[in-house]
Structure 1
């Protein structure tokens, strides 16, 4: 439970040193050798190696080593040191893995082991002298950090073509939320404590690594907003942890790193290029990623990291050709056209004078920039040349969706930015993170602060979504009590909203009379406070519709849902998630009236809307599929029913607790329909 304090300050401490993830960087150094910890020389060399790749794991068993590598994300990268004896057995088994970046064989007989290593591209050498091994790893890792081609490029695609609508449901939602999350972080105030908290996290992660700790001390003492890009372009911990946090959407780290992101954006804006440029970026991509891009010609791609490019084609091309790629990867050269005069765009700048390496003519493009995919061609070197053009902010249909989300969350208001951040996390389905930040905020606010009740409401929302009904009712009741205590009139709409929330809990607990009583209280307040087209009226009607559905009165429910939809359509864009939810409700009501075609029509409309507004894995998407499954079951089309129930199950299981009633219900539906097919 969140404790309350009387201190009204800005919350920042959400990730302590004890919360540090195992590896803050992309690269893992793994050493497999029966004698890895036997000799003093080997033990001392581990310290030297950590200067290049901080995170080191050692094994003396090849099976355990292989299992560990297999357990890593495909986004991670492994540099493996292996003895000749172990190497000839494990390398053939793990060589195809995307995670494996390079192998170094350390042995007593170089000639013997050169024979089998020549068959494997990723083996970077066979060494009998430890110093030679360390020197080569340090040299190669510096190259890997410089050319960046082997690190995954995080991106989302927005696909607007009708033919791809269904398959791109998840991609589109992730596209929108990646944009909104970064904008929200940038809208939050940066505090002087953020740097100290980041340093504390890093001190634990890099404990015992004297080289990195020295750089960390320098960062703590000398970092300033006008040197953000200098630090980012330096081959240091900052570049590596920021890129991994962006790629994995590590919310806690991004929350701390937002001051770096903000400072870099301001520098890019200050030094914005003034003329049209053609830029180049070499990249190793998985075959699946390349195929996804090829299937999205003419669509939009959002790059979810800062994009480092070169003004010289040969530089990017040579870096690319110098990289080793396996059978499941492809070499890609992006040719990118950027023009600052086309309209409102995310900034990009030639950072030659700002960079740690001023000799490199690098143009850095802002995180979250949106491009249009153009032509694809494969040249004689088997390099795929992909044309992209930087889009301005008004150049795509998502502008309206994103603008609506900005309006809803109000994350441009720095005073409300933390609440807005929690609201965005909630919409993304990151419920545990939302609770963590809400509790942190409550612990910092005074008990009479105006945002306390809103925090209670959002905590109640999370509990309700996670089916913790008693906890949800407790939070909503605290909110109602707080609002009533502060209100001087009987027509405060905020009190009405609390009654609506309380009614939702009672409905889920099957206390339908209590739920309707709470809604009537809310409706009376709204009628005194608003006209009949206010969104709160729509919420109230929507909730009444749910109760009528529970009471087996689908016709009354449909009337409420339709009235709510009519109101919402006057306030939201056609692809807002709220409209999708109401279409789901109408689909369910039509099913109750056995109007199956209308039900499927509304469910399909909901899916199309969610495809542009929600992540792929979201329980509302699951509900659309469940409704469709119910329709097909009632029509005795059991194969179709099972297909849609399984899609619903996939969504529920990846977004809801395993004991959630939606999960239990859909499993029963699958079991029931499966028996009909047999």
Structure 2
């Protein structure tokens, strides 16, 4: 999977130019016309249009075109050029789609097609001259790029009450992970090759687009850390790809773009506003997003992009009223109070002296800033006015969770930052990305580097999570061999950890005797190295508990789990995911002893913890629901059992491979209980 090597002379690129097969920007230009590639004029026009919207797809079949548009994310935006003949059939079908931003009809008979286009708000014009069409699209797109109200505003909500029941109002785990991911990226060292790698990616994506390639050459030659905001505020490729990468959490692009993010943060800190301000931001939002915010009054919201605001209410309001919105969207004006004196906050600054457009009174707020949602009011223009206040870093209960994750991953240590980044990706469930970056790191490290064994451990962790047990055992065994070779004593706890990992593989392969033997080896090492309250002792006890459960010895298992929980509670905050996992284990053990109410109590405690520490869709959440389903089934409450099994299935299917044994097991449980209900 990964090739070990001597110290690489150049870093291995994790995203190469050959990987670029997708649109790096939000906007798609789609041209549907039977003659789209027939005339030289049309072909030449495509080059001109790409200067405004780079990503161009052409179709001569309306069904294929419609299917393509529907396949795009609701966060993407489509500008459609369509012939009059195709337009009168496809526009009524796709007009309600959130993806569709604007339609331009190109035809031979303007009068004929004005009759039906007048009914559709998103049709921006009917044209018989190609030059007029191109001029209008270029004008409108420049306006769309300037008016940011129609761009998706990526956010996460942390709901501190009934988190797991109110998952529709925000995924608390995603809130935490989005914070940790950005902090981790900012903690990593920026190398001199990052800009060149980014440029290579962009050259591939913008191939044939002379206008953008010219700007790209300028960026390559003249970018410097003190001009990051100048480049970001310019209407260029950088603003568009950074915003989309942040919105989609495109790990590979963010890894390359981290030097831009870091430079912008330093500029914002240097020019930090010194007084309290009221700022304004106009935003088009889907009705569902607005409802999500309304259901979360008083809660916390993190904005996962740089937030552009105005000190002038009328500027933000006019931009908002100038934007076209469909029936499924709403106009929102955010009134934002920011005060630099309230404590440790993410930076914000008036970027007049830094911006490409110095005449604008724009205040830019740092990516990942956390706000508290205040009042909601709808005015006579049907604009929702939402008040928010910028929170300082100690102003919310998530501080403890985030600080604990920083401690666990140690991503403030620049020397370990790459390994910490992989660890964060693993915690987020982005296993394929974790493997990619671990392999990249292995290729860069010397053969005797101290982090080699840790890379092997993490690769084993990923393989185990993906149920690739033989591969996991191979990685863990390589780690054990590496640690043993380097160790000079027989009480090295790192060797004990390898035995614990190996035992987990043997247990999953039902080799319980081998698993217990490995744990005994680990326990002997830990007893020599630690006192009785070390976390490694808790891990060992936890693993022993799992084996006792499989050996149908729930009482012994419960004793191990309880001892492990007692240790963990001394090291972690009350909402750390590790505690949730142990509560699930205790729930399972109590079920084995037919102590059903105690089992449900522990499973519910686990869900409350996961609601604050994991994404709503996570296999640990699924495990909680599965345990509860098993309890209700044993109590003959089959309707409740089915409800919880289906919740478990939803979590497993969205986070695990389709052939994972958890998925197969839960489907059998659903089938079994469904028969009882019939």
Match of 1:560?
Answer: 560
Deviations 1:35-80 (A, max 9, x none): 1111111110100000000000111111111111011000000000
Output the CA distance in 1 between the equivalents of 2:636 and 2:649: 20
Name the TM-score, length of structure 1 as normaliser.
0.99
Output the CA distance in 1 between the equivalents of 2:167 and 2:485: 50
Deviations 1:597-637 (A, max 9, x none): 00000000001000111111111111001100100000011
Deviations 1:551-581 (A, max 9, x none): 0000000000000000000000000000000
Match of 2:443?
Answer: 443
Secondary structure of 1:82's partner? strand
Task: Confirm or deny that 1:599 pairs with 2:599.
Answer: yes
Whether the 8 Å CA contact 2:170–2:292 is kept in 1: the answer is no
With over 3 angstroms needed to count, the CA separation of the structure-2 counterparts of 1:483 and 1:531, relative to structure 1, is same
Deviations 1:111-151 (A, max 9, x none): 11111111111111111111111111111101111111111
Output the CA distance in 2 between the equivalents of 1:225 and 1:264: 8
Secondary structure of 1:163's partner? coil
Task: Confirm or deny that 1:218 pairs with 2:210.
Answer: no
Match of 1:480?
Answer: 480
Output the CA distance in 2 between the equivalents of 1:166 and 1:241: 32
Whether the 8 Å CA contact 1:348–1:365 is kept in 2: the answer is yes
With over 3 angstroms needed to count, the CA separation of the structure-2 counterparts of 1:333 and 1:625, relative to structure 1, is same
Output the CA distance in 2 between the equivalents of 1:228 and 1:637: 61
Output the CA distance in 1 between the equivalents of 2:571 and 2:281: 42
Whether the 8 Å CA contact 2:127–2:133 is kept in 1: the answer is yes
Deviations 1:224-273 (A, max 9, x none): 00000000000000000000000000000000000000000000000000
Whether the 8 Å CA contact 1:301–1:370 is kept in 2: the answer is yes
With over 3 angstroms needed to count, the CA separation of the structure-2 counterparts of 1:21 and 1:403, relative to structure 1, is farther
Q: Cα distance, 1:514 vs. partner?
A: 0.6
Q: Cα distance, 1:287 vs. partner?
A: 0.2
Q: How does 1:466-615 map to 2 (within 5 A)?
A: 466-615=466-615
Q: How does 1:386-401 map to 2 (within 5 A)?
A: 386-401=386-401
Output the CA distance in 1 between the equivalents of 2:496 and 2:164: 42
Whether the 8 Å CA contact 2:12–2:443 is kept in 1: the answer is no
Output the CA distance in 2 between the equivalents of 1:9 and 1:429: 31
With over 3 angstroms needed to count, the CA separation of the structure-2 counterparts of 1:467 and 1:169, relative to structure 1, is farther
Q: Cα distance, 1:359 vs. partner?
A: 1.0
Secondary structure of 2:28's partner? strand
Q: Cα distance, 1:85 vs. partner?
A: 1.1
Where do 4+ consecutive residues of structure 1 move more than 3 Å? 8-12, 162-166
Output the CA distance in 1 between the equivalents of 2:449 and 2:11: 14
Output the CA distance in 2 between the equivalents of 1:88 and 1:315: 37
Output the CA distance in 2 between the equivalents of 1:179 and 1:152: 19
Output the CA distance in 2 between the equivalents of 1:170 and 1:2: 37
Structure 2: tracts of 5 or more residues without a match: none
Whether the 8 Å CA contact 2:163–2:608 is kept in 1: the answer is no
Whether the 8 Å CA contact 1:170–1:617 is kept in 2: the answer is no
Q: Cα distance, 1:340 vs. partner?
A: 0.4
Q: Cα distance, 1:83 vs. partner?
A: 0.9
Match of 1:148?
Answer: 148
Q: Cα distance, 1:170 vs. partner?
A: 6.1
With over 3 angstroms needed to count, the CA separation of the structure-2 counterparts of 1:198 and 1:163, relative to structure 1, is closer
Q: How does 1:422-437 map to 2 (within 5 A)?
A: 422-437=422-437
Q: Cα distance, 1:166 vs. partner?
A: 4.6
Whether the 8 Å CA contact 2:169–2:296 is kept in 1: the answer is no
Whether the 8 Å CA contact 1:169–1:611 is kept in 2: the answer is no
Whether the 8 Å CA contact 2:164–2:608 is kept in 1: the answer is no
Output the CA distance in 2 between the equivalents of 1:161 and 1:655: 25
Match of 2:360?
Answer: 360
Whether the 8 Å CA contact 2:303–2:370 is kept in 1: the answer is yes
Deviations 1:342-394 (A, max 9, x none): 00000000001100111111000000000000000111111100000000000
Deviations 1:259-304 (A, max 9, x none): 0000000000000000011111011000000000000000000000
Whether the 8 Å CA contact 1:169–1:612 is kept in 2: the answer is no
Name the TM-score, length of structure 2 as normaliser.
0.99
With over 3 angstroms needed to count, the CA separation of the structure-2 counterparts of 1:594 and 1:170, relative to structure 1, is farther
Q: Cα distance, 1:13 vs. partner?
A: 1.2
Match of 1:650?
Answer: 650
Whether the 8 Å CA contact 2:83–2:107 is kept in 1: the answer is yes
Output the CA distance in 1 between the equivalents of 2:214 and 2:147: 24
Output the CA distance in 1 between the equivalents of 2:229 and 2:532: 52
Output the CA distance in 1 between the equivalents of 2:562 and 2:165: 25
Match of 1:237?
Answer: 237
Whether the 8 Å CA contact 1:12–1:193 is kept in 2: the answer is no
Secondary structure of 1:331's partner? strand
Q: Cα distance, 1:165 vs. partner?
A: 4.7
With over 3 angstroms needed to count, the CA separation of the structure-2 counterparts of 1:285 and 1:236, relative to structure 1, is same
Moved more, 170-179 or 401-410: 170-179
Secondary structure of 1:168's partner? helix
Q: Cα distance, 1:10 vs. partner?
A: 8.2
Secondary structure of 1:162's partner? coil
Deviations 1:419-469 (A, max 9, x none): 110111101111000000001100111111000000000000000111111
Q: Cα distance, 1:660 vs. partner?
A: 0.9
Whether the 8 Å CA contact 1:25–1:244 is kept in 2: the answer is yes
Output the CA distance in 2 between the equivalents of 1:9 and 1:165: 52
Q: Cα distance, 1:162 vs. partner?
A: 3.3
Whether the 8 Å CA contact 1:169–1:616 is kept in 2: the answer is no
Whether the 8 Å CA contact 2:229–2:354 is kept in 1: the answer is yes
Output the CA distance in 2 between the equivalents of 1:21 and 1:243: 18
Q: Cα distance, 1:658 vs. partner?
A: 1.0
Output the CA distance in 1 between the equivalents of 2:348 and 2:152: 21
Secondary structure of 2:670's partner? helix
Q: Cα distance, 1:167 vs. partner?
A: 2.8
With over 3 angstroms needed to count, the CA separation of the structure-2 counterparts of 1:598 and 1:9, relative to structure 1, is farther
Whether the 8 Å CA contact 1:170–1:615 is kept in 2: the answer is no
Whether the 8 Å CA contact 2:625–2:645 is kept in 1: the answer is yes
Root-mean-square deviation over aligned CA pairs: 1.0
Whether the 8 Å CA contact 1:168–1:611 is kept in 2: the answer is no
Output the CA distance in 2 between the equivalents of 1:30 and 1:205: 17
Output the CA distance in 1 between the equivalents of 2:469 and 2:61: 49
Secondary structure of 2:571's partner? coil
Q: Cα distance, 1:168 vs. partner?
A: 5.7
Whether the 8 Å CA contact 2:163–2:611 is kept in 1: the answer is no
Report how many aligned residue pairs link the two structures. 678
Match of 2:271?
Answer: 271
Q: Cα distance, 1:21 vs. partner?
A: 3.8
With over 3 angstroms needed to count, the CA separation of the structure-2 counterparts of 1:168 and 1:575, relative to structure 1, is farther
Output the CA distance in 2 between the equivalents of 1:472 and 1:411: 25
Output the CA distance in 2 between the equivalents of 1:626 and 1:632: 10
